Structure 1
Amino acid sequence: MAKSPLAGLSVLLLEDEVLLRKRLTGFLEKEGAEVTAVNTVAAARQALAGSSFEAAVIDVNLPDGRGTDLLRDKLFPPTTNVIVMTAEGGVAGAVAALRAGAADYLVKPFDLDELPVRLAQARRLRQAKRADEFRKGQQTELVFGESLAAVREQLARITTADRRLSGPLPPVLIEGETGTGKTAIARWIHRHGPRADEPLVELNCSALPDALAEAELFGHERGAFTDAKAARIGLMEAADGGTLFLDELPSLALGLQAKLLTTLEDHMLRRVGASRPIPVDARIIAATNLDLPALVKAGKFREDLLHRLDLFRVRLPPLRERGSDIIVLANELLGRVTRRYGLKTVHIPAEGRARLLAHRWPGNVRELAHEIERAVVFGGDRGLLFSHLGVATGTGAGAEWLRDDFVFPESGFSMEAAIDELVAHAMRQANGNVSGAARLLGVSRDVVRYRLKGGRENGRIGE
């Protein structure tokens, strides 16, 4: 059975007509809302002084004043959705109420079924405003190459399984080094799944101060802490019906991990300072660049939360393990950069491609994107050679040709330069001592001296 859009909604109802008040109260409670019904402006003021409400349905003309005076006096916090009820002929007053901050109005008499629709619309609007605070920039399509074929098949299976479910969607755990594209994967899952039209809220957990993390994630009631002057929905609630992406999840404190686990299991959350839970259905996608089982053993991550999250697991390989896909990705990024800067098409020559393939990419895709943009802006007219990454023929820093995955460049390889690199590396390790370097290399001191002077010995270090 589908969840009512008003389930758990706290509503202040201000109506003096007894029968209508009872009908509205009964109807809203049947829809799952929690209703505080009052019949005077004074009683409404008292209720607002002691509690905060997610929604209010107020009549205009009351025995002791006008319900819209509550809007004029700014007694409703920005998080409360106010719907004004007015009799026929009172539309002008309702429009004035909208200008004062009401979310909508209803003209009496109205169909009761219209009320939950209006309340749900107002709730969704507030949810969207909160989600917009964490909405990211324009999304670009994820580039899949041969190295990510298995990942793409995993993602397709996840979204196919999602479409078979009518209720809450299971969490997804994405593992990978920093910069491998975990956020892009989370966006892909959301965009290609059954919740593509619902909100996607992205949160970097490491950016949340511990003192504010709970309130930011789960929301808070007015007066819950010193600066809580109004109730505020959390990001979990803002993602209700959609997806909440939690990047760098292990940054959350253990106590907050426990609360997240409870929300995942019960599909209910409790705002800071609240006495009642609120139903929520946000699909959780979590990401980490750390070894979660190791963190569990170290007591820094909850084992039960790991088991709850570790259902659909996606591992992104680092860029250095993606082989020729590095060039595919580089060309895609290059196209995006040139379009953004309004430049003509630029190509990466063989020498530049060799350097891209030889580099270790500790920053992964993020580092590659920055290198591409930097090369286009500062050296695009001279060709994208990426000279600062090191000479792919072996003279670059870090001796890329020592790696098992080194690919010989099409332009050829300089063995002489590689020998010089070996000698220089041995000299550094021996702290400049020729004899020590010679022992490390297994050659005589004369061979080392000869190489240091710029000599060559037929491409070999020596016999």
Structure 2
Amino acid sequence: MQNSDLTGFSIVIIEDDSLLRKQITAYLERLGADVTGVDSIQRARKVIADLSFDFALLDVNLPDGLGIDLLREKCFSSYTGVIVMTAEGRIEGAIEAIRLGALEYLVKPFDPAQLPLVINRARRAKQTERLTEHRRSDVTSGGISFFFGSSLASLQSQLEKILAADRRLESNLPPVLIEGETGTGKTTIARWIHHQGPRAGQPLVEVNCSALPETLAESELFGHERGAFTDARTARMGLFEAANGGTLFLDELPSLSLPLQAKVLKTIEDHKIRRVGGHKEIAIDARVIAATNRDLKSIVASGQFREDLYHRLDLFRVYIPPLRERGDDILELTEKLLDQLSARHRLPRKPIHAQGRKSLQAQPWPGNVRELAHELERAIVFEEGEELKFEHLGTTAPEKPATLAVADDWLNPAFQFPPEGFSMEEAINRLIQRALKQTSNNVSAAARLLGVSRDYIRYRLSGQKTSSLRWGLKPSCRLREMDLGDSHRKTVARAPALFRAISRLGNRLRCACGLGTFSAAELTRRKSGITAFCIFVAMHQPTTMTYETNQNSCARLGGKSAPGRARGPRG
């Protein structure tokens, strides 16, 4: 963004000198700003209460009091950057205003050409505040410098070409796409590109898209205006704005919804953002680096990722191979990591035993560099010998059944089925729990990682899913006591198979649950007959349902046929 471009910003001028106020207003409006002017503290209070502003130009001395009283009273939103204006020789008021939270000050008279520079300094101060807030809520472990080694010489050459192009372009840098398995170092490469390039002194904002709640992702990335939604009491800067002039790293970009992907694409192409609830576009210059551990071409084909966004990101594409394909680099990388980890823990640097080297090279390392670093850290902390042997590698804890680790193990090329087999149900559940943990229990994001619908995950988490399906009931049909009444017909509509079966069997069906044993006749005496019985079954999930029926009726219910009395499916 050019320093003089204020497109989309809202600014209030609180100044009693009408000539100066009009002069400043005209100048800022030519730069694209939306300007509101007032001449007193009383009017300022009303305007500030009714509207949201990005910046305020505040005169210290006003007809009805001191402008800094507005700062003392905390009238301004924490989002508004305040710049005070004071007459020459009255610098004390400006110093007091800075102490109360103002970001900059101007000494009158001043050249209006100074305004864009001062406003942009204030904007950078706001960016710093937003970055601090983001980093507090997104704590990440300190990164270890990237080791290229001989196997990644071509990757290093490719990155050098990207940096050379960056230095030629300077502004509006094209996006970069980084692909690679989990733990290969995509975040470290993104940091390397930023710190080695022309924007090294500017902000680097890192965002884990898979951890963003779907309902808040747009506001987090693009910001929002006051009143944009229920809890939006003040305006808030988004992370695209916080990264202005620097780099925005979007890790696991495919986790974003398709509508949000479209908004990211528009921002990359137009270099402008529009806050949630806003009506004006704000010019930004943030270099986007995206990363994914998935094959983008395949998820484009499946409709989970926008094809136009893929082609836009494909200009500078970087692939990081997994650790198992890097040959002898594993040992060189191990030496580098041991130096850093030993220094971090202030422990003596131990050499690696010959057997330890063989163990390192024999591992498949599904977690790549991240897994290697964790195993090395464990070894230097817990191994007591003079040399590191890594004897714990390749072993499993005897007390942990093989089936409990299925969701992790079958992704390992060395995995073999245990002789006794394992539970597919348990494997699916572990995969779901793993996805939920990675996404901080965000069901929508977990569904995208697994390539399934949200309803499927909710169904798997609902428990008692087998019985519900056999009766034609969805888990959502299980109602609480307080939900009875108007919900009767809705419940029956959701359980047509159960409704039809009970209608056919009538009084020959009996139901057993924790409340006792009831016949259909006893349950259907009140209100709407069969409907009441459906409600009872949906609420209490009876352990057994016994009925007298013939083979055909039994088959319609989904149970096994038997002469005389037959036991139905568990409900």
TM-score for both structures, normalised by structure 1: 0.82
Which residue among 350, 356, 359 is the counterpart of 2:354? 350
The residue identity in structure 2 corresponding to 1:12 is: V
Aligned residue in 1 for 2:493: none
What secondary structure, in the 3-state scheme, does the structure 1 residue paired with 2:371 have? helix
The question of whether the paired residues in 1 share the 8 Å contact of 2:178 and 2:319 is answered with yes
Aligned residue in 2 for 1:403: none
1:59/1:378 CA distance change after superposition, 3 Å: same
Which residue among 196, 203, 206 is the counterpart of 1:199? 203
- CA–CA separation in structure 1 for the residues paired with 2:92 and 2:2: 37
- CA–CA separation in structure 1 for the residues paired with 2:350 and 2:3: 53
What are the within-5 Å matches in structure 2 for residues 57-456 of structure 1? 57-135=57-135, 138-390=142-394, 429=419
What secondary structure, in the 3-state scheme, does the structure 2 residue paired with 1:326 have? helix
What are the within-5 Å matches in structure 2 for residues 3-14 of structure 1? 4=4, 6-14=6-14
| CA offsets 1:98-128 (integer angstroms, 9 cap, x no match) | 2222112222222333332222111101102
The residue identity in structure 1 corresponding to 2:182 is: T
- 1:283 is displaced (CA, Å) by 0.4
Which segment drifts farther, 114-123 or 171-180?
A: 114-123
The question of whether the paired residues in 2 share the 8 Å contact of 1:346 and 1:380 is answered with no
| CA offsets 1:389-440 (integer angstroms, 9 cap, x no match) | 239xxxxx9xxxxxxxx9xxxxxxxxxxxxxx9xxx89x6598xxxxxxxxx
Aligned residue in 2 for 1:443: none
Alignment: residue pair count: 400
- CA–CA separation in structure 1 for the residues paired with 2:300 and 2:165: 29
The question of whether the paired residues in 2 share the 8 Å contact of 1:52 and 1:221 is answered with yes
Ranges in structure 2 where 5+ consecutive residues have no aligned partner: 396-401, 403-412, 422-571
The residue identity in structure 2 corresponding to 1:208 is: L
Aligned residue in 2 for 1:56: 56
Q: 4+ residue runs of structure 1 moved beyond 3 angstroms? A: 5-8, 133-140, 428-431
The residue identity in structure 2 corresponding to 1:120 is: N
The residue identity in structure 1 corresponding to 2:224 is: H
Which segment drifts farther, 5-14 or 69-78?
A: 5-14
Does 2:37 correspond to 1:33? no
- 1:89 is displaced (CA, Å) by 3.7
Which segment drifts farther, 97-106 or 298-307?
A: 97-106
What secondary structure, in the 3-state scheme, does the structure 2 residue paired with 1:258 have? helix
- 1:179 is displaced (CA, Å) by 0.3
The residue identity in structure 2 corresponding to 1:211 is: T
What secondary structure, in the 3-state scheme, does the structure 2 residue paired with 1:250 have? helix
The residue identity in structure 2 corresponding to 1:51 is: L
- CA–CA separation in structure 1 for the residues paired with 2:73 and 2:369: 53
The question of whether the paired residues in 2 share the 8 Å contact of 1:205 and 1:247 is answered with yes
| CA offsets 1:319-366 (integer angstroms, 9 cap, x no match) | 111110011111111001110111222111211011110100011000
1:331/1:142 CA distance change after superposition, 3 Å: same
Higher relative contact order (CA 8 A, sep 6+): 1
1:269/1:380 CA distance change after superposition, 3 Å: farther
The residue identity in structure 2 corresponding to 1:198 is: Q
The question of whether the paired residues in 1 share the 8 Å contact of 2:175 and 2:287 is answered with yes
The question of whether the paired residues in 2 share the 8 Å contact of 1:182 and 1:316 is answered with yes
- CA–CA separation in structure 2 for the residues paired with 1:10 and 1:114: 18
The question of whether the paired residues in 1 share the 8 Å contact of 2:350 and 2:386 is answered with no
Aligned residue in 2 for 1:436: none
- CA–CA separation in structure 2 for the residues paired with 1:5 and 1:369: 46
The residue identity in structure 2 corresponding to 1:253 is: S
The question of whether the paired residues in 2 share the 8 Å contact of 1:215 and 1:272 is answered with yes
1:430/1:91 CA distance change after superposition, 3 Å: closer
How high is the sequence identity, in percent, across the aligned residues?
59
Aligned residue in 2 for 1:23: 23
The question of whether the paired residues in 2 share the 8 Å contact of 1:205 and 1:249 is answered with yes
- CA–CA separation in structure 2 for the residues paired with 1:332 and 1:380: 21
- CA–CA separation in structure 1 for the residues paired with 2:96 and 2:171: 40
What secondary structure, in the 3-state scheme, does the structure 2 residue paired with 1:223 have? coil
- CA–CA separation in structure 2 for the residues paired with 1:186 and 1:430: 45
